[in-house]
């Protein structure tokens, strides 16, 4: 029933010129009016839907990490709630993004898990590989030749793996290791979906290939992000430990409903859903945006909002 009411998608806000935010309405933590004593030692920024680390001062031709798929507590989550864990290249200072990861979706007490990859502006693709809570996965995206990327997704728990080559022109301008709170469409409006109670997720041995060398996050000056909403910290990234790994933890018990997205501009777009057409409208702030929508029936539509 909820799938007929809600459309789940990721808002990708793309930086343009002097506009600072990218992919997630990022602002300095000091401007977020939130307090997170446990995270004060981390050089962090606040985001409405990202927690993790990002780097944007190199030329990145590969990225990877391992993590255990978090066991979501459906009983403590909202009736509709979600989270996504992924690694990606591009998107912070450009309109391109190649990414892959896992996602959990809570609907009326039932949790489903999936694996996926995406190459903007193409639609998100489901990886035909089963994932479950507690499974240990390794995900990597490596450019093996100019414009040719190798996607590797391995479920270490089941022993199954998925690999394919993807033709994609990337700016290679940023790298991300992210725990995300996606967004929903209700009628003609767009809102952040409640973040589920995922507990914590550890990005083990995260790395990036910068100017041909495989290095850890500290070597590229990666910056941490904490996710905020409703005046509280929803999730935060811990410090990078001696092994180069870090964790993102759910830091608030809030299961509040859908939250309004930042407003600055309005768009209108016809969105095909099966044999019908739904009229979508959304308002967001800060720079250029790409809104990528995935429908419950598997069909998708890309909406572009260009800064003007």
- Per-residue pLDDT tens over the stretch 231-262: 889 999 999 999 999 999 998 765 555 554 44
Nearest to 207, CA basis, from 217, 194, 198: 217
Mean pLDDT lowest among 7-16, 93-102, 132-141? 7-16
Average pLDDT, rounded, for the chain: 74
Task: Indicate left, alpha or beta for 90 from its phi (over 0: left) and psi (-120 to 50: alpha).
Answer: left
**pLDDT value at position 256?**
52
Query: How many CA atoms lie within 13 Å of 219's alpha carbon, on the beta-carbon side?
Result: 14
Nearest to 48, CA basis, from 186, 180, 202, 197: 180
**pLDDT value at position 259?**
54
Rg (alpha carbons) of the chain, rounded to whole number: 18
**pLDDT value at position 231?**
82
- Counted domains in the chain: 1
Using DSSP's 3-state secondary structure scheme, residue 69 falls into coil
pLDDT in tens, 6-15: 344 444 333 2
Across 24-28, 81-85, 127-131, which has the greatest mean pLDDT? Answer: 127-131
**Is the pLDDT reported for residue 279 higher than 60?**
no
**CB atoms inside a 10 Å sphere around CB 212:** 8
Q: What is the CATH number of the domain that holds 76?
A: 2.60.120.700
Q: What is the mean pLDDT of residues 75-101?
A: 90
**Is the pLDDT reported for residue 229 higher than 80?**
yes
Q: What is the mean pLDDT of residues 61-82?
A: 93
pLDDT in tens, 290-304: 343 444 444 433 333
The residue segments making up the domain with residue 146 are: 2-305
- Separation of alpha carbons 149 and 157, rounded Å: 25
pTM of the model: 0.73
pLDDT in tens, 33-51: 233 222 222 335 788 888 9
Task: Indicate left, alpha or beta for 298 from its phi (over 0: left) and psi (-120 to 50: alpha).
Answer: left
Confidence of residue 284 (pLDDT cuts 50, 70, 90): very low
- Separation of alpha carbons 129 and 298, rounded Å: 16
**Is the pLDDT reported for residue 5 higher than 70?**
no
**pLDDT value at position 27?**
27
Confidence of residue 185 (pLDDT cuts 50, 70, 90): low
9 vs 59, residue with greater confidence: 59
């Amino acid at each position: 029933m909820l799938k007929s009411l809600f459309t789940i998608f990721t808002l990708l806000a793309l930086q343009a010129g002097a506009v600072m935010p990218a992919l997630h309405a990022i602002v300095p933590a000091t401007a977020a009016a939130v307090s997170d004593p446990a995270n004060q030692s981390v050089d962090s920024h606040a985001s409405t839907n990202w927690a993790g680390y990002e780097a944007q001062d190199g030329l990145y031709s590969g990225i990877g990490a391992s993590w255990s798929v978090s066991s979501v507590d459906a009983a403590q989550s909202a009736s509709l709630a979600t989270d996504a864990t992924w690694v990606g290249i591009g998107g912070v200072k450009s309109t391109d993004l190649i990414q892959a990861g896992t996602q959990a979706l809570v609907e009326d007490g039932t949790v489903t898990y999936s694996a996926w990859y995406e190459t903007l502006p193409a639609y998100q693709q489901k990886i035909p590989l089963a994932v479950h809570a507690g499974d240990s996965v390794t995900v990597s995206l490596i450019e093996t030749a100019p414009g040719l990327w190798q996607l590797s997704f391995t479920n270490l728990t089941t022993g199954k793996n998925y690999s394919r080559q993807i033709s994609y022109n990337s700016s290679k301008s940023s790298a991300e290791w992210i725990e995300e709170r996606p967004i929903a469409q209700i009628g003609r409006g767009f809102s952040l979906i409640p973040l589920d109670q995922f507990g914590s997720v550890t990005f083990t041995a995260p790395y990036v290939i910068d100017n041909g060398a495989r290095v850890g996050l500290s070597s590229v000056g990666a910056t941490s992000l904490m996710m905020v909403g409703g005046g509280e910290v929803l999730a935060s990234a811990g410090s990078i430990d001696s092994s180069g790994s870090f964790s993102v933890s759910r830091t608030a018990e809030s299961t509040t409903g859908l939250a309004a997205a930042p407003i600055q501009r309005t768009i209108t777009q016809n969105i095909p859903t099966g044999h019908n057409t739904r009229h979508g409208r959304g308002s967001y702030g800060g720079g250029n945006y790409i809104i990528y929508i995935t429908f419950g029936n598997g069909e998708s539509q890309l909406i572009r909002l260009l800064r003007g």
